[in-house]
Amino acid sequence: MSDTLLSLSEVAKSFKDVHALTKVDLEIKSGQVVGLVGGNGAGKTTLLRLMAGVMEPSNGSILFRGEPVSSMRERLGVVPESTGLYSRLTAWENIRYHSRIYGIEDKIAWARVVHFAKMLDLIDALPRHTKGFSRGMRQKTALLRALAHGPDILLLDEPTAGLDVTSARTVRKLVGQLRNEGGTVIYSTHHLAEAQQVCDRIVIVHNGSIRADGTPDELLAMTNKETLEEAYVSLTADKAKPRIEDNYKEGKLAKWWRLFLTGRTPKIQEGSEDE
């Protein structure tokens, strides 16, 4: 039996006239930690959303163990960049609510949560409301929530963004533990050094396409470079495309309202939470 869990074939995604992804072919095998590495706007988050089945590709197919991924989402664990916790619930209540949606008994979910919460040093915080949690604690809770139903693949979107050094190190340690236990993780990051430290395999995404896919040693051999940073720069030398938000055009009413409130003409939108 094939050990391929997730298979993407000629996948493309467009938003009107913006081509976020173009002809992506990728296979994710069981027991790997695969890094998606690219700058802001490269297409990493769009790719993760397609893998998670929350968006449909414009072209191509995405299969999970040979079935459409949209029908197999219960086998995936997803930690988006925004954790989306309910502040009026405790950490455990957030996790339990999520696991019950997947039909997991509380005692089974609790056993899984305790197993990983010890590593994340979050056991004492499970009965506390998440309203006062730091970003690191919220991220750890989101990780536990994603693991409570025993997913086959864990999808992480910038899991250490904004975390302090200790919390980021703890998250990386958890990913290593998941690998040791036979788990499969897709780890999106724009930090090349972090991907090199955590991942078995690195997929470089730039301007909506995959520029390279392999182990760090394979990427060095492919580009004939001495460092992974030099390899990355050589593979992404062409100018990055504008992000979707850079093409945003305000309507007349929005322009008038901005002028009325600020006395300034509108500027190009900056920043993005999508990539």
Q: Tell me: the pLDDT tens digits for 91-106?
A: 999 999 999 998 999 9
pLDDT the model gives residue 41: 81
The tokens for 120 are: 């994340």
- Both tokens of 43, joined, read 């297409």
Q: How far is CA 211 from the centre of its chain?
A: 18
In CATH, what number does 4-241 get?
Answer: 3.40.50.300
CB 200 within 8 A of CB 217: no
- Measured between alpha carbons, how far is 174 from 180 in angstroms, rounded to an integer? 10
pLDDT of residue 266: 47
For the entire predicted model, the pTM comes to 0.81
Q: Which residues pair with 12 in a beta bridge?
A: 59
Q: Where are the beta strands (DSSP E) in 58-104?
A: 59-64, 67-68, 76-79
Which is nearest to 215 in space by CA: 80, 34, 8? 34
Taking 50 as the pLDDT cut, the residues of the chain under it are 1, 245-248, 266-275
- Asked if residue 126 lies in contact with residue 90, where contact means CB atoms within 8 angstroms, the answer is yes
The domain spans of the chain are 4-241, 242-275
Contacts of 58 (CB under 8 A, 6+ apart): 12, 13, 14
